[in-house]
Amino acid sequence: LDDVIAVTSPDFARIEEAMHRSVRWLDRCIAAHQYPERQNLFCIVQGGLDLDLQKKPRYVMGVGYSEDLVVSVALGADMFDCVWPTRTARFGNAVTSTGTLNLRHSSYASDFSPIDEGCTCVCCKPASAGGLGLTRACIYHVASKETAGAHLLSMHNVHYLLNLMRRIREAIIEGRYPEFLKKYFGTLYAGKKDRYPGWAVTALQGVGVDLMED
């Protein structure tokens, strides 16, 4: 149930009203829930700025681009969900460490490198290591004619983002997330800082991370 309050709203009474509405809706969902043994319910409160909730998990809805994920984590977000990784796969797009590649483009017709160099997903992993060993050229020829291309790219994209989040967690635990961010953007934009998105630079400066700093 959507009862979305402005994120910066100082109106605690309005925030509380929305929270109680969400909880009432959760109660109805629990009462109607037919498969509790194989389905979980996830109740969220949208919007508002309640400092008492700082220690609660913060969930960002509809965010799936990798650069959005790494910046949102720096700003305090904990969880995400988004259809983008699989939706974009249907159009032949692969999410990689150097950006999104449209593998339906003819420039990949003779590219026999993995979808993403170093990726450990079943699509990229060589056959000798138990994977499929698929190349960009293979995906190019499959994605333009068969739905299997979308399935394979969905597998790759979801793996890439899950692995990205795993690396983020490790960097945070080890106290090196600022360095992780700088390396991530450096790889994504081939070290060309003039190409860094301004919104990301500004947002990260707000939490003490200067991407433009050497």
158 or 61: which leads in pLDDT: 158
Q: What is the pLDDT of residues 53-92, one digit of tens each?
A: 677 888 888 899 999 999 999 999 999 989 999 999 999 9
Q: What is the pLDDT of residues 174-206, one digit of tens each?
A: 999 999 999 999 999 999 999 999 999 999 999
- Side-chain-facing half-sphere of 30: CA atoms under 13 Å: 8
Helix (H) or strand (E) holding 15: helix 12-32
- Nearest alpha-carbon partner for 58 in 28, 83, 200, 49: 49
| Structure tokens that stand for 20 in this block | 């109680």
Non-local CB neighbours of 138 within 8 Å, separated by 6+ positions = none
168 falls within a domain:
no
Q: What is the pLDDT of residue 16?
A: 85
113 falls within a domain:
no
Domain containing 4: what range?
A: 1-56
Q: What is the pLDDT of residues 36-49, one digit of tens each?
A: 899 888 777 776 76
13 falls within a domain:
yes
Q: Coil, strand, or helix at residue 83?
A: coil
Helix (H) or strand (E) holding 79: strand 79-81
Domain tally for the chain? 1
| Structure tokens that stand for 158 in this block | 């979801």
3 falls within a domain:
yes
119 falls within a domain:
no
128 falls within a domain:
no
The C-alpha angle with vertex 140 and arms to 135 and 146, in degrees rounded to 5, equals 115
44 falls within a domain:
yes
27 falls within a domain:
yes
